[in-house]
Structure 1
């Protein structure tokens, strides 16, 4: 979801509606990559050849970066809009559909000890490339990591009507960082 939000627009794509949230930012946990690897192996077992790409994205994929302690994963599948081709298997594996929008589904595990946000796109979707460019820039640039961490900590001081508003508020800084990575929308 990349356009500016309002409650009506969000309600149209959020399966369970708006959920007020107070964001928690944790210092980097060196166990996050292992949590991703476990989940990636599970996803490969559940989806088999239907999954064309599995990548660890978001702040937990960047060594040294403070983050919400939720592993973000993007998978590439042929057609995210063809839910019967994959969604029942992911739901049986404990994932709950949270966002339904054209060419994108977002699911979340119900496991409070190891929460995961799972984004489903076509492997060549522009959002996949954008996630990876952002991750790679943060891995390579200490100054951008510090800027992003400070921004997240500042934004976490307030309560949000929904997590998507928090994500949107980070947009200007994400745009700056992507620009330094050579990204052009």
Structure 2
């Protein structure tokens, strides 16, 4: 039997779930694009300076930037292929 995700940790995505693949694509894009990496780093530094009552608020504050960077990734893949 192949283990493909967590069966004992609630909310941990299985490796077959779309969220897991999106996370991997985002990670790969940050590794391959210095501009994307710098943009994400600057965002995280700005957000780190703020007080957060709930960690989810911090995560949601990153959402629009992450979505924009993933859109850039998709454009790159369409233009040059998935070579990241």
- Alpha-carbon RMSD across the aligned residues, in angstroms, is 1.9
Which position in structure 2 is the counterpart of 1:125? 17
1:156 aligns with one of 44, 48, 52? 48
Structure 1 residue 124 displacement after superposition:
1.4
Give aligned pairs, total. 75
Q: Distance in 1 between matches of 2:2 and 2:53?
A: 35
- Taking structure 2 as the reference length, the TM-score comes to 0.78
Which position in structure 1 is the counterpart of 2:72? 180
1:167 aligns with one of 44, 56, 59? 59
Which position in structure 1 is the counterpart of 2:3? 51
Matched, 1:137 2:14: no
2:39 aligns with one of 147, 168, 171? 147
Runs of at least 5 residues in structure 1 that lack an aligned partner in the other structure: 1-48, 53-75, 81-85, 88-99, 106-119
Structure of higher CA gyration radius: 1
Structure with a larger share of its residues in strand: 1
Which position in structure 2 is the counterpart of 1:20? none
Structure 1 residue 121 displacement after superposition:
2.0
- Taking structure 1 as the reference length, the TM-score comes to 0.37
Aligned residue for 2:45, secondary structure, equals: helix
Runs of at least 5 residues in structure 2 that lack an aligned partner in the other structure: 76-84
Q: Distance in 1 between matches of 2:24 and 2:73?
A: 11
Structure 1 residue 122 displacement after superposition:
2.5
